[in-house]
Amino acid sequence: MTTTIVAHDEATVLTVAGEIDLATAPALENAIDSVLSGKPKALIIDLTAVSFLASAGMAALVAAHQRAGATTAIAIVAEGPATSRQLKMTSLDQVFALYSALDAALAAFQRH
């Protein structure tokens, strides 16, 4: 699993690629913590390049949501059976704003 962080005016984007499982979830949590420590207005977690999202990865996303609190809005970009289907099946699409493309997520935060 690899992560890349890019700061935009309206949001910080954390792009994740590869598999998020029990072994890699701690690295995802560290990357999220690194972004949240800067207290961005919004964090967009782009999972479009993720090929496998295990429950440990979803737990890391929920923990991020709890740590962000009211300070940082979190949105997730996910498309396809490996990610968006998992998030919808576990009702995490009710917790996070879910987008199918990064451009749509960035546009949503530009409006705020």
Using CA atoms, how far apart are residues 62 and 46, in angstroms rounded to an integer? 15
Q: Work out whether the CA dihedral 84, 85, 87, 88 comes out positive or negative.
A: positive
- Six token digits for residue 39: 């207290």
Using CA atoms, how far apart are residues 74 and 110, in angstroms rounded to an integer? 14
pLDDT tens, 7-18? 998 899 999 999
pLDDT tens, 74-83? 999 999 889 9
Q: What are phi and psi of 94, to 5 degrees?
A: -85, -20
What topology does CATH give the domain 2-110? Transcription Regulator spoIIAA (3.30.750)
Under DSSP, is residue 1 helix (H, G, I), strand (E, B) or coil?
Answer: coil
Average pLDDT, integer, range 31-50: 96
